[in-house]
Amino acid sequence: MLVETHAHLDYPDFANDFDDVLRRATESGVTRIITIGTSVESSQRAVDLAEKHSNIFAVIGVHPTYAEEAEEDVITPLRELANSPRVAAIGETGLDYHRLPSVSAAKEKKVQVFARALQGETEEEIEASIQDGAHKSRQASLFQQQLDLAVELGLNVVIHQRDAWDDTLEIMRPYSGKLRGVFHCFGGTLEQANEVVDLGHLVSFTGIVTFKNGAAVRQVAARIPLWKFMVETDCPYLAPVPFRGKRCEPAHTRIVAETIAAARGISLDDVAAITTQTAQEFFRFNRT
């Protein structure tokens, strides 16, 4: 028995063969799937799926990448959606500095940026850094609002963090002891993993642990305490080897768990039993 703790089943990638996807998950021993909302609309779809299928639960939230296009008040609709007993946590929420306006601009015009760096700051660069600031503060505000909502509802939080480690921990610090977070798709160092574990949080691992260039993450998964992580796919993204590059699906959670079991030198059954219990304690699967 395995819990797939991070899927995006509401994405159109699964529209054509949804029932087959669920069947293959069950056949692989994935008995429970958590589908993660990335916007208010996506969260609504996640709840709809969870209400229709007994083995699916929903996590509701607004992803930092959607911070700009998100409606001014996302909390009122999220609070309403959380009335569903199928809602297991808040998220995914957090900070993502990977595609800030200045970074995008730099990628598009690599050569010019290099030339400009030699000349000092241009008007365009100043404009981009102002935009970066606005973007970051909008993300931070949405993140904080969702952390507050989680505390209000007594739920834990699925955290998305990319290129924003320090700011993410800084924002979460005052919430220590009030809620727990899972740093999903963990790609950091063992030191960083222990840092979040020491703050009472968890991490979860995707198919990256199977990648040739995933040795560092595999090592972290092998050495972090057995009770401090969960398994996921982040499907439709990050299909594990040998499916790399194809659409990922919840059945592949088993490959992630097998890879971690092999890296730790323990059985798949042990990884499955313990990560399942960790998930049962972290997510709200039954309303008391």
Q: CB of 262: closest distance to Zn ion in angstroms? A: 25
Q: How far is the CB of 72 from Zn ion (least distance, A)?
A: 24
End-to-end CA distance of the chain: 23
Q: Is-contact 239 207, C-beta < 8 A?
A: yes
Q: Is the peptide bond before 92 cis (omega within 30 degrees of 0)?
A: yes
Q: Least distance (Å) from Zn ion to the CB of residue 234?
A: 5
Q: Which is nearer to Zn ion, 96 or 234 (CB)?
A: 234
Angle at 275 between CA 168 and CA 20, to 5 degrees: 100
Q: Which one, 5 or 276, has the nearer CB to Zn ion?
A: 5
Cα angle: 14, vertex 16, 19; to 5 degrees: 75
Among residues 163 and 269, whose Cβ is nearest to Zn ion?
A: 163
Nearer to Zn ion, 102 or 252 (CB): 252
CB of 206 to Zn ion, least distance (A): 9
Q: Which parts of this chain interact with Zn ion (CB under 5 A)?
A: 234
CB of 8: closest distance to Zn ion in angstroms?
6
141 CA to centre of own chain: 18
Cα angle, residue 160 at apex, residues 263 and 241 outer, rounded to 5° = 35
114, with CB counted inside 10 A (0-12, 13-18, 19+), is exposed
Comparing CB distances to Zn ion, the nearer of 102 and 253 is 253
